[in-house]
């Protein structure tokens, strides 16, 4: 049964078009068809958050969103957002605080954290914990992730840039 559909989307700043099966969810499309391996699949039932990507400026579960639904949408992944703006601050802070271990959850965690920083810039540790609860991390104890996000929140509150990590 072939129901392939033509879709166009703005992906990480570039207009792309493709023909895909409606059953292909967004992350399979990104990973298998476009080779963007940043978003990961941890459960495909919307529980773990490893597949988090940004659609039309909002984080979504990439496994619970069809690629056909993204027709005409703006889609951003860690690859596109990396080393600029909020994400680069978060990346430096995550590295400084060792807020990742195996890294499988990291791209999703970063995108979730970025949305928090944009929507709740005054969050405290508890609010940070609440916000990132949609993203499982099985390696860290979450503590260092909260530390890293707090560093970015506080730096931004003081209008500071998070300073890049260098070797000692």
Partner 1 sequence: MKAAAFDYVKAKNLVEALALLSEHGEDARLIAGGQTLLATLNLRLSEPSILIDITAVSELKGISVRGNMLRIGALVTHTEIESSDLIAQHAPLLKEAAPHIAHRAIRNLGTWGGSLAYGDPAAEWPACSLALDAIMIIQGPNGVRKVNAKDFFIDLYTTTLQADEILVASEIPLASSNQEHSFQELARRHGDYAAVGLAALIRTDKGKVQTCRLAFFSVAAIPTMASKAQAFIEGKSIDAALIQQAVNLAREEIETLADITNSQETKTHLLGVLLERALTKMMP
Partner 2 sequence: MNKPTDLQGLVLDPIAGDQRYIGHSEPRHSARRLLQGQGTYIDDLQFPRMGHVVYWRSPVAHMKIGQIHTDRARKMPGVIAIVDGVQMATICKPWVATLGHLAGMKSAPEYALAVGRACWQGEPVVAVVAETRAKAEDALAHVEVEWEELPAVVSMESALDQSTPVIHPELGDNLCFTRSLDVGKVDDVFKSADVTAEATFGFGRHTGVTLETRCQIADFNPGEKRLTVYHSQQAPHMMQDLYCRQFGLAESDVHVICKDVGGSFGIKVHAYPDDFATVGLALLLGRPIKFVADRLESFVSDIHAREHRIKGRIAANKEGDILAFEIDDLTAIGPYSMFPRTSAIEGNQVVNLVGGPYKHQNYRANLKVVFQNKTPTCQYRGVGHPIACAVTEGLVDLVAQKLKMDPIEIRKRNVIPDNAYPYTGISGIKLEVLSHEQCLRKIEKMMNYPALRKEQEELRKKGIYRGIGIATLIELTNPSAAFYGVGGARIASQDGATVRLDPTGIISVMIGVGEQGQGTEGIFAQIAADAVGVPIQNVRIITGDTDVTPYGGGTWASRGAGVGGEAVLRSCEALRDNILKLAGAILKRDADSVVVRRGNIVDKANGEQLLTLSELGRIGYFRPDTLPADFSVDLMVTRHYAQKDYPFIFTNGVQASYVEVDVDTGYVKLLKHWAVEDCGRVLNPMLVDEQVRGAIVQGIGGALFEECLYDESGLMRNGNMADYLVPMAYEMPDIEVAHVETPTKSSKLGAKGAGEAGTAGAPGAVVNAINDALAPFSTHVFDQPITSEKILRALGKVK
- Nearer to partner 1 by C-beta: 40 or 61? 61
Closest CA to 37 of 22, 23, 53, 60: 53
Q: Which two tokens stand for residue 78?
A: 């860690």
Q: How far apart are CA 154 and CA 144, in angstroms?
A: 15
Residue 64 binding partner per list partner 2, partner 1, none, with a CB distance cut-off of 5 to 8 Å that depends on partner kind = partner 1
The reply to whether 1 sits near partner 1 by the rule CB under 8 A is yes
Using the rule CB under 8 A, which residue among 15, 58, 167, 168 binds partner 1?
58
Q: Could you give the residue ranges of the DSSP H alpha helices within 11-55? A: 26-28
Q: How far apart are CA 55 and CA 62, in angstroms?
A: 9
Q: Which two tokens stand for residue 10?
A: 């703005």
Which residues here bind partner 2, judged by CB under 8 A? Answer: 21, 23, 31-32, 36-45, 47-48, 50, 77-79, 82-83, 91, 94-107, 110, 125-126, 128-130, 132-148, 150-151, 154, 165, 167-168
State the nearest-atom distance from the C-beta of 91 to partner 2, in Å: 4
- Nearer to partner 2 by C-beta: 72 or 165? 165
Closest CA to 75 of 93, 51, 98, 102: 51
Stretch that binds partner 1, among 9-17, 61-69, 76-84, 93-101 (CB under 8 A): 61-69
State the nearest-atom distance from the C-beta of 49 to partner 1, in Å: 7
Closest CA to 18 of 29, 7, 26, 28: 7
The answer to whether 141 touches 56, Cβ cutoff 8 Å, is: no
- Nearer to partner 1 by C-beta: 36 or 132? 132
**Mask: binding to partner 1, 4-43, rule CB under 8 A, as x and -?**
-x---------------xxx-x--x---------------
The reply to whether 66 sits near partner 1 by the rule CB under 8 A is yes
Q: Output phi, psi for 54, to 5 deg.
A: -110, 125
């Amino acid at each position: 049964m072939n129901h392939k559909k033509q879709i166009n989307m703005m992906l990480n700043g570039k207009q792309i078009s493709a023909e895909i099966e409606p059953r292909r969810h967004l992350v399979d499309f990104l990973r298998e068809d476009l080779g963007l391996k940043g978003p990961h699949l941890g459960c495909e039932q919307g529980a773990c958050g490893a597949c988090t990507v940004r659609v039309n400026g909002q984080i979504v579960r990439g496994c619970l969103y069809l690629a056909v639904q993204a027709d005409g949408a703006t889609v951003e992944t860690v690859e596109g957002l990396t080393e600029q703006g909020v994400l680069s601050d978060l990346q430096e802070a995550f590295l400084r605080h060792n807020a990742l271990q195996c890294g499988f959850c990291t791209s999703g965690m970063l995108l979730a954290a970025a949305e928090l920083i944009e929507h709740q810039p005054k969050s405290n540790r508890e609010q940070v914990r609440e916000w990132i609860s949609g993203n499982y991390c099985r390696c860290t104890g979450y503590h260092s992730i909260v530390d890293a996000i707090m560093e970015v929140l506080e730096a931004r509150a003081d209008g500071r840039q998070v300073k890049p990590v260098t070797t000692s």
